[in-house]
Structures are given as structure tokens and as C-alpha cells.
Amino acid sequence: MPRHREALEGLADALEFAARWPTGYNFYGGSGELTHVLPYAVLRERAQSTARRLNSLGLPRCARVAIIADTTPLFHCFFFACQYAGLIPVPLPAALQMGGGDAYAGQIRRMMRSCGASVAIAPEGFLDLLNQAAQGLRLAFVGGEADFAALPEADAPLRPLRGEEPAYLQYTSGSTRFPRGVEMSQSAVLANLREIVDVGVKITGQDRMASWLPFYHDMGLVGFVLVPLMPAVSVDYLSPRTFAMRPRLWLKLISDNKGTVSSSPPSGYGLCAARLRLSDQERYDLSHWRVACVGAERINPRLLERFSQVLAPIGFNPKAFVACYGMAECGLAVSFAPLNQGVDVDPVDQELVSTTGKAQPVSAPASADKDVLRLVDCGAVLPSYEFRICDENGREIPERCCGHIHVRGPSVMRGYFNDPEATAEVLDASGWLDTGDIGYRRGRRLVVTARSRDVIIINGRNIWPQDLEHLAETAPGVRTGTTTAFEVTLPDGEPMVVLVIEAKRAGEDLPKRIESLVRAHFGISCHVDIVPPRTLPRTSSGKLSRITACKGFLARTEWDEECRPAPLSEPSLGARLSIA
């Protein structure tokens, strides 16, 4: 057993280290009740026993084990069993809202085929869908915990994964194509864990963590399954489904257990602020919450300001907000804002940044000023990383000029599993990773503005879809997190901006109001498409997927003789459009 955290060579070593303390993982149900307690020492014993059963299947070293990553102890047992058995765990989504059972099974099947899975495991509620997804695939084992328990334990000694061997495959939802499996080495993920704990969040043995984030997403897996091992602190879990239905339970969990560290995308904070009741102010105490990490492709400061206002009476300190930036291709984290300082908003000239890409600071006016873009500083890049901002030709550009964010360091992925072509698109021979994001630098501090693939280019201007979405959400009747913007190419070759908005009871004037807002603020025309609630597709991490929303818009749209959108009468007509 390793005596010091610095001596760890793999994630199995990290669990061995954590098992020396009486802490671990705690799982809570749909009513906030404690359902399972999994101390690190107990997990170690279960993982080793499970590893011996996996080894009885006679699999080659580094064979892939697909795990439906629902919020249950089963995931942790099999994930760490793979570490001990010399196998690669592959967390797969546990989200049925992705188009129904058949669509979900199809996605899982494609992922298992992509990674060449030899074993597939699921909790009870997902077994039928897993069996459906596995039909015709050559798997050594498919089933649930009860089926697996019938396997014998192999007598051979365990040989954990270490060093440059793989740690896991993480299917990223950030891809605009079919999700690709990020392959992280043991040394890479350990390097990222150390910097998150020691530099980014400064976690000590006195901390307690809480999360509702899914285990198949980098923030959930790395941030709240692996990070807690390093300081051996306890974690309290809600499932993403429970959070979506009862977001106040997240706050209750933090309050009841005196949680100190938790994270969410901005939409999660916005949902909590919208659902909190006045009566809750007497029940919750968030004064212990010292680090509230927030990460997204671009952070909306309005949601955080609203959260701070609503939760101030129950002890939430806005200085607890820590803006950060990262991605699965780097394990999790690339940068962190300073602790105990809250959100640092950089107000810049919106017209100048749209037309020239230069983020010229302006004096901070009211947030509604249409000439000012309020961008959140995501803090200093972690010490082990180099980073640069580059133009379209890969040349480094000066401070406060928007360009492509490139990073290099020990936490960067090995590549996309079995996909050298996709790897070569983003990772060069010298180790520089093109993150696919747009931003600018302020010294070693980073400001993220957009995904590069999402940027809308109209009349030579760069317009970020988030700006259009936030503007639309200021209209009466439009809720936060229910809009998505993208660009399409019309049949005559001209570009057009589209805003798709979910609304329950939208009057005929809502599209006109939003079109008018867009013209007034950006000087461009757009088409507004009103759809029923829960129409817009989301990624595995719960974010709206612009690329999938665009495909849905094209599939239900045809064009009249003047290239104006009209109700679709023949589905095939949608193919006449293309995604910009």
C-alpha cells in the first residue's frame, strides 16, 4: 500500500491510499434518504473480489469493460475492479431522455462497438436495454450484478494498471460528430488529480464533497469519483434524475452534511434559484460551502448572480464561486479562478470583439447594455500546462485577441481510442491539443468565449450563439436554458441564423419580439422556431446540443420559393439544407 500520495502509480494505488481512512461514498435516493454507504476500505475489498471474477473470463490485458454509469455503488465497484484486474473501464450514459429506449440502446451499442467491449455491466433498471444493445456483439459477459456474482474468482494474483497504461475511456459529449472515446493514461489522470486537489480547489481532510453530476461525464467521474480519493474525503451523491426533479435536495444535502465543495454547470445553479421557496430559508444552511465550482463552454454570469441573490439568506457566500475551464481530453481541469474571490467578469466592447476578435475592456455598465459583452474569467491555467491562443493558421496571437485555445501538458489525453484520424485533427506530434474552444488570454488567465464549431459568421462578424440565447431568454415567457442558436445555409447558399425556443404557451408575437431584439442588438435577421417543452436535445452532461438541435430543425423544415421556412410536408425536403 502506498504511504504517500506522491508515490501513487495508478488509480488502484489511489484507492489503497484512501482506504486507510474511515471515509467514502454516500448515495441518496429520490426523497433525500441515505440508501448506500460505501467506505473506501469496503470498496477496495469489493473491487478486488470483482476483479478476480473478471479475471476468470480470461480476457487479455486492457480489454474494455462497458459500465452503464448510473448513480449506484455498482459503478464504483466495477470501475475500480477494472483497475485491479488490468482492464479498461468504459463509463456509458445512463440517460433515457436521449430519444427513448430504442435510440438509447442504439447509442450504447455504437459505443460498445467503437471501444470493442468484451464485458458489459448494468444496474437492474438498465438490463433490458443493455441486452438489446448487446445483440450480435461478441461479448464474453453481459448482465447485472446478480449474474456476475455467479462467476468464480480466479486464483491468479491481481496486476493493477499503472504508469502509462490506460486508466479509462471517456466518451465525450463535446464532439459535434459521434462521441469519441478519450483515452487517458494512469499517469495523466493522476497528474490532473494532484493539481485539482493541491492547486485548484485546495482540498484537505476537513472537506466534504457533494454532487449530482453523472459519472459518465468528466466533471462527475474525475471531479467526484476520483478527486475525493486523493485527500480521502467523503462524497454525497444524488442522481442527475433526482436533481432534475428536485434540485433543492442538492442544497439540502450540502446543508445537512456541512458540505464544502460542489460543482455544477451554470444551468444547475439557475435551476436551483428558480425552484427555491421562501420556506426553505429556514431549513438550509449553506455557510460551510466554500468552493462552488462552475464550468461550461462559456459561463453565463446572470445565472450565478441570481443564485447568489436568492441563496444569500441561507448563508451562501458569492465568493465561493470558482470559475474553471476543462474538458475530458485533459482529464478534467485546465484552469481555476482564485479561491475566495467569486466570479470575475470582464466587460468588453461587443461590437469590437464581434468584428475584429479583439476583447477591448470597457468600464463596467449595467449588464443590459447592448454594447457590452460580459465574459467570465476562468482563472489561471494550472502550473503543469502550457497554453497559447492561435489564429486559423496556428500562429500565436497577442493578449486579448480571440482565437483557438491550445494546451500542452502531462494531463493531455493519449488520443481518441482506435481513431488516429480524429486524434490527428486535435493533437499534434509535439503534444499540443486544439481544444476546439475560442477564447483569449490575460497573462496566464483564460477567458473562454465559445466552441469554435458553434461560432456564427454573418456578414463578416463573429457572433457567439450564447449571446443570442441569453438575449432571447430576456423576453417574457422564455425560460433560462430553453433556447439554442445556430447557423444554417439556405438552399440559395446564403447563411441564416436560427433560434429554437421551447415555450408552453407562445403567442404569435413571441417570435416577432425576439426577432426584433436580435435586430436591435446585433443588426442581423434571424428565424425563430417555437417548439414544445422538452423538445431540444441535450448531451450526456445535460447541456443543450446545438448540432443535434440543428439537425432536428432541418428535418422538420422545408422552404418556399423565397427560401423562407415553412411547415414540412415531405421529410426528405429537409436534406436541401446544410449545417453551416
Instruction: Decide if pLDDT at 1 tops 50.
Output: no
Question: At residue 541, does pLDDT exceed 90?
Answer: no
* Whether residue 537 has pLDDT greater than 90: no
CA–CA separation, 234 and 244 (whole Å): 23
Average pLDDT value over all residues in the chain: 89
Question: What is the CATH number that goes with domain 344-409+418-454?
Answer: 2.30.38.10
Instruction: Please state the rounded mean pLDDT for residues 119-147.
Output: 95
Name the residue with higher pLDDT: 532 or 61.
61
Please give the angle made by the CA atoms of 318, 321 and 322, to the nearest 5 degrees: 155
Question: 29 vs 68, 91, 358, 476, CA distance in Å?
Answer: 18, 21, 48, 35
Q: What is the per-residue pLDDT for 3?
A: 46
Q: What is the reported pLDDT for 173?
A: 56
> Which architecture characterizes domain 456-579 according to CATH?
2-Layer Sandwich (3.30)
Measure the CA–CA gap between 197 and 416, rounded to whole angstroms: 26
Say whether pLDDT at 170 is over 50.
yes
CB of 365 closer than 8 Å to CB of 347 = yes
Categorize the per-residue pLDDT at 369 as very low, low, confident or very high, splitting at 50, 70 and 90: low
Provide the percentage of residues in the chain whose pLDDT is more than 90: 66
Which part of the chain is CATH 3.40.50.12780? 5-174
> Looking at the predicted structure, is the pLDDT value of residue 8 above 90?
yes
The pTM of the full predicted model, rounded to 2 decimals, is 0.84
pLDDT of 579 strictly over 80:
no
Cα radius of gyration (the chain): 24
The H or E element containing residue 456 is strand 456-458
Stretch 250-273: mean pLDDT, rounded?
Answer: 94
The set of cell numbers assigned to 327 is 474538458
Tally of CB atoms within 10 A around 433: 24
Average pLDDT over residues 149-155: 95
Task: Please report which confidence band the pLDDT of residue 211 belongs to, taking 50, 70 and 90 as the band edges.
Answer: very high
**In this structure, how many other beta carbons lie within 10 angstroms of the beta carbon of residue 197?**
20
What's the average model confidence in pLDDT over 210-234?
96
Is the pLDDT at 222 greater than 80? The verdict is yes
Q: Where in the chain is the domain with CATH 3.30.300.30?
A: 456-579
* pLDDT, tens only, 178-203: 668 999 999 999 999 999 999 999 99
Q: Is 48:23 a contact under the CB 8 Å cutoff?
A: no
- Closest Cα partner for 329 from 228, 404, 250, 432? 432
Q: Which residue has the higher pLDDT, 101 or 166?
A: 166
Residues 50 and 90 sit within 8 Å (Cβ to Cβ): no
Three-class DSSP labels, 86-114: CCEEEEECCCCCCCCHHHHHHHHHHHHHH
Distance CA 259, CA 251 (A): 9
What are the pLDDT digits (tens) for 34-89? Answer: 999 999 999 999 999 999 999 999 999 999 999 999 999 999 999 999 999 999 99
**Nearest CA among 341, 332, 344, 212 for reference residue 272:** 212
pLDDT (0 to 100) of residue 5: 64
Backbone angles phi, psi at 527, to 5 degrees: -105, 130
Grid cell in block for residue 104 = 438509447
Copy the grid coordinates of residue 437. Answer: 474552444
Q: How confident is the model at residue 175 (pLDDT cuts 50, 70, 90)?
A: very low
CB–CB of 281/227 below 8 Å?
Answer: no
What pLDDT, on the 0 to 100 scale, is given for residue 488? 86
Portions of the chain given CATH number 2.30.38.10? 344-409+418-454
* CATH of the domain spanning 5-174, picked from 3.20.20.120, 3.40.50.150, 1.20.1260.10, 3.40.50.12780: 3.40.50.12780
Cβ atoms within 10 Å of 12's Cβ, excluding its own = 28
Q: What is the pLDDT of residue 177?
A: 43
Band of the pLDDT at 398, cuts 50, 70, 90?
A: very high
- pLDDT tens for each residue of 416-467: 999 999 899 999 999 999 999 999 999 999 999 987 777 787 766 778 788 8
- Say if strands 321-326 and 333-336 run parallel, antiparallel, or are unpaired: antiparallel
